[in-house]
Amino acid sequence: MQIISKRARRLRHSEAMRSLVQENSLSVNDLIMPLFFKAGKNIKEEISSMPQQYRYSVELLVDKVKELEDLGLKAVSLFPCVEENLKTSDAKEAFNPESLNQKAIRALKEACPDILVMSDVALDPYNSDGHDGLVDKVSGEILNDETVEVLVKMALAQAQAGSDIIGPSDMMDGRVGMIRKALEKNGYKNTSIMAYTAKYASSFYGPFRDALDSAPKAGDKKTYQMNYANSTEALKELEMDINEGADIVMVKPGLSFLDIIYRVKQASTLPVAAYNVSGEYAMIMAASEKGYIDGEKVMIETLTSFKRAGADIILSYFSERMASLLKNS
Ligand code: PBG
């Protein structure tokens, strides 16, 4: 008879024992639900590349957020689908106090004051060029400092409408610091900034760009979003965002960047968020619809992997479904 004194399987023997020694778990407190919306009334349109995700008109968006609140969710992130005729090369609709986005923020804060509203700061939904920054007419270059001036106005308009968390997703240099200073100067000292700190130039954003019809008209985003072959560079971005006054730092996408989440968490004293992006959602939904995988189990495994990698917060299109599972379990 063999004597095996070390048996790892002992702690896997029963469900109760596995639960007792489980290192990471999901909580509804950590989830943020991204939501799409558009102008109009009584609209709920499914996004073809993101099954079970919709573009809502504002009053139905409010109803949806009430449902999310009943599931225990604490935060949503808003993405407006802007009408084509409002898109211009100076993206000025971005800081219009009466824009669809600002109206949605106000409506949500009025109907659900306890829900945290996060709003996106980048020019792509408003820019006729489809880039996150202003484009130089002659050279085609994405202009940094000129863009930051617009982003600051955009962040102020969102803060004034009642946004709790400003989410600069544009990857321009210096924007976190400039936004922080402007918020302080204008009395928005409790408005937080969740910086898209390590945001990679990824092909996993495809379905999101379909949802908003916001793909760049020319070129790609590689002069501002990061090269997915790099990881140390994420720590440089982290240092910059910490120094500039970010409250929370984010890694995006999530699934193919778990190593970056881990490194950022190790190097940061700030809470770390992971963005489980549209393409990651679409892959799981598509394979599940085909019967190739068990979508629900893969969802739970995926979301848990973000926690294991070190994420404190997860933005995911699965947040609603996961919250409802957590509530009923
Ligand atoms: C806009 C923005 C993007 C996403 C969030 N904010 C798209 C992009 O940078 O092209 C992607 C989210 C997703 O794919 O789920 N700057």
**pLDDT tens digits for the chain (329 residues)?**
889 999 999 999 999 999 999 999 999 999 999 999 999 999 999 999 999 999 999 999 999 999 999 999 999 999 999 999 999 999 999 999 999 999 999 999 999 999 999 999 999 999 999 999 999 999 999 999 999 999 999 999 999 999 999 999 999 999 999 999 999 999 999 999 999 999 999 999 999 999 988 899 999 999 999 999 999 999 999 999 999 999 999 999 999 999 999 999 999 999 999 999 999 999 999 999 999 999 999 999 999 999 999 999 999 999 999 999 999 98
Does 13 reside within a domain?
no
Given this model, what pLDDT does residue 213 score? Answer: 87
Closest Cα to atom 8 of ligand 1: 205
The rounded Å distance from CA 37 to ligand 1 centre is: 15
Does 9 reside within a domain?
no
Please list the alpha-helical segments (H only) found in 227-318: 232-244, 258-267, 278-289, 295-309
User: Which residues, at least 6 apart from 188, have a Cβ–Cβ distance to it below 8 Å?
Assistant: 156, 159, 160
The rounded Å distance from CA 251 to ligand 1 centre is: 12
Given this model, what pLDDT does residue 95 score? Answer: 98
Q: What is the dihedral of CA 42, 48, 52, 54, to 10 degrees?
A: -30
The rounded Å distance from CA 211 to ligand 1 centre is: 10
Does 128 reside within a domain?
yes
CB atoms within 10 A of CB 266: 10
Closest Cα to atom 6 of ligand 1: 169
Q: How many domains does the structure of the chain reveal?
A: 1
Domain of 38, CATH number, reads: 3.20.20.70
Domain hosting 81: range is 27-328
From 277, 283, 285, 317, the mutation candidate for ligand 1 (largest count of ligand atoms within 8 A of CB) is: 277
List active site positions: 199, 252
Please check whether residue 128 is in contact with residue 89, taking contact to mean a CB–CB distance below 8 angstroms: yes
Does the CB atom of residue 280 touch ligand 1 within 6 A? Answer: no
Given this model, what pLDDT does residue 2 score? Answer: 86
The rounded Å distance from CA 267 to ligand 1 centre is: 25
Closest Cα to atom 10 of ligand 1: 205
The number of the ligand 1 atom at minimal distance from the alpha carbon of 169 is 16
Please check whether residue 246 is in contact with residue 195, taking contact to mean a CB–CB distance below 8 angstroms: yes
Does the CB atom of residue 202 touch ligand 1 within 6 A? Answer: no
The number of the ligand 1 atom at minimal distance from the alpha carbon of 34 is 15
**Model confidence pLDDT, tens digit, residues 83-99:** 999 999 999 999 999 99
Does 60 reside within a domain?
yes
Given this model, what pLDDT does residue 65 score? Answer: 98
Does 66 reside within a domain?
yes
Does 8 reside within a domain?
no
Does the CB atom of residue 77 touch ligand 1 within 6 A? Answer: no
Does the CB atom of residue 188 touch ligand 1 within 6 A? Answer: no
The number of the ligand 1 atom at minimal distance from the alpha carbon of 279 is 14
Tell me phi and psi for residue 210, to 5 degrees.
Answer: -65, -45
Given this model, what pLDDT does residue 151 score? Answer: 98
Does 2 reside within a domain?
no
Does 12 reside within a domain?
no
The rounded Å distance from CA 66 to ligand 1 centre is: 25
